[in-house]
Each structure stands twice: as structure tokens, then as C-alpha cells.
Amino acid sequence: MEQWLERLYIAAEGARLRNEDRRKAREVAALLDEIGRGISRFSRRSPIVLVDAAAGKSYVGLLAAKLVLDVSERRGRVITIERNPAFVSASRLAAERLESLTPIECRGGDVAEAAAWPEDASIVAALHACGAAADSIIGRTIAVHARMLLLVPCCTSAAMTAAARAEKAAERAGIPRHAPVRRRFIQAMVDAERTWRLEAAGYETEVVEFVPPTVTPHNLLWRARFVGEPRRMKAAEEALGRLAEGFSPCVPPADAL
């Protein structure tokens, strides 16, 4: 994996892999394993449409095309979505060097924009989607009816709606302002909302550590597969409602006023 990153992104710039690049290689390798297992669930008659969302320089999408789709001889295509024009340009250059048999399209756009997404996504992958981007990816995955989502969120910004609600909930619950304590509470509330949101939309969801925390502190993977089981969806909707009550101020019943 390190050799591929160096060949596609580093050597052309006259530089060598840094320690952070080596850690990135481990993360990409782990996510490619997840993509490979996900693809194996699809009929070989069905072409795979893989979306690399909030793609950065598209490490995941490009190498999935070469090392997963090409190697397994699966029909399909890869679409990467990234809003940074410089990263989109770097992705397109890397795609040319890759010489994959799988068609690759590097799109410029925000993951929150419906126009940036294909209508026929099979698998959505996102490695270190920062802040609100992770929640936008969940929303678009549900909207395009993708069969699988492999999501690794990154930082949780105070500007996020769910984080702001969790901050207020922390105040009401008396959670101490000590940063490590408060931060864990807020993150747990945000992560719970993401999980129940996927489950309520019909996605059987697992949250696992896809690499050790020594590689990255943002090492949780949401592995979500659409099953559409009504009872499971209803239970998740109810859980999401109870979570929303935790976000909301406590209002006494009318007869108590």
C-alpha cells in the first residue's frame, strides 16, 4: 500500500512518504479490505458503483478500482466526490498514472449537494469525513438508496447541529465542563444519533475499530448494510426519538403547571 501511495502521489512530487502517510496507508488498506468484503455480497451480474465521498486525494476510490475491482474482475466504476479543486486535480492526475481497467470519475462538489452524487451507488466509502460532512454522507447514502456505507468520521465540530444540541444536553445533565469528560459525552451523543439514523433508514449497522487507536484516534468505522427490516427500523425510530428527548429541554406536563 505504501508503494502505491508513493507511486501515485509522492514520487511525482519529488518527496518521500512521511510517518503520517505510512499511517494513512494502513487505514486505506483496512478500508479496502472492508470494500472487498462488501463487494463480495453483490451478485457478479450486478455492476458495482463505488462512491468515495469527501475523498481528499481519492486514495480509497482509486486504489479500490485497481486493487479490488480490477483484481476481482468485477464490472463497475468508481466516482470520487471532493470539494477542494486542488485535491480533485491531484486525483485526476493520479487516476491517469493508475491505469486501472475500472472507469474512474473524479467529481468536484460538496457531499451535501445532491447533484454531486450518482443515482445508482452500490457502496459509499468515506475515510475521515470531517464534521458535518459525515452526516451529509449519511443523508445522501440514504437518499440514493446505496446498499452499503463504510464511514469513518473524523473531527466533531462545535458548529455541527448535533454537537450543538449535545452541548446543551450536557449542560442540562450536569456533565462537567472538563474537556475530556464533556467531549466524550458530546461525541457519544453525536455517534448515537448517526447510528440510530442509519438503523431507522433500514441499515443494519455495526460500529467497529477498523485500525488500532495508535494509527489514528479517529478509528471507528460505521459498517452499514441495507436490509430494510421493518421491526428493526421501527425500534430504531423509537430509540432516535428517545435520544431526541435527551437533546431537548425537559418540559413538565401541563397538569403539573
pLDDT for residue 204 is more than 60: yes
Q: What is the pTM of this model?
A: 0.88
Which range among 85-94, 159-168, 189-198, 243-252 shows the weakest confidence by mean pLDDT? Answer: 243-252
Q: What is the pLDDT of residue 13?
A: 54
Between 218 and 2, whose confidence is greater? 218
pLDDT for residue 252 is more than 60: no
Which range among 54-58, 71-75, 171-175 shows the weakest confidence by mean pLDDT? Answer: 171-175
What is the pLDDT confidence band of residue 257, given thresholds at 50, 70 and 90?
very low
Give the range with max mean pLDDT: 131-140, 151-160, 245-254: 131-140
Between 207 and 22, whose confidence is greater? 207
Of all residues in the chain, what percent carry a pLDDT higher than 90? 67
The CA dihedral of 221, 20, 154, 139, to the nearest 10 degrees, is -70
For the structural domain made of 2-156+203-229, what CATH number should be given?
A: 3.40.50.150
Q: What is the pLDDT of residue 20?
A: 78
User: Region 229-236: what's the mean pLDDT?
Assistant: 96
User: Region 150-170: what's the mean pLDDT?
Assistant: 84
Q: What is the pLDDT of residue 104?
A: 98
User: Region 17-32: what's the mean pLDDT?
Assistant: 86
Look over the chain and give the mean of its residue pLDDT values, rounded to a whole number: 89
How confident is the model over 139-152, as pLDDT tens digits? 999 999 999 999 99
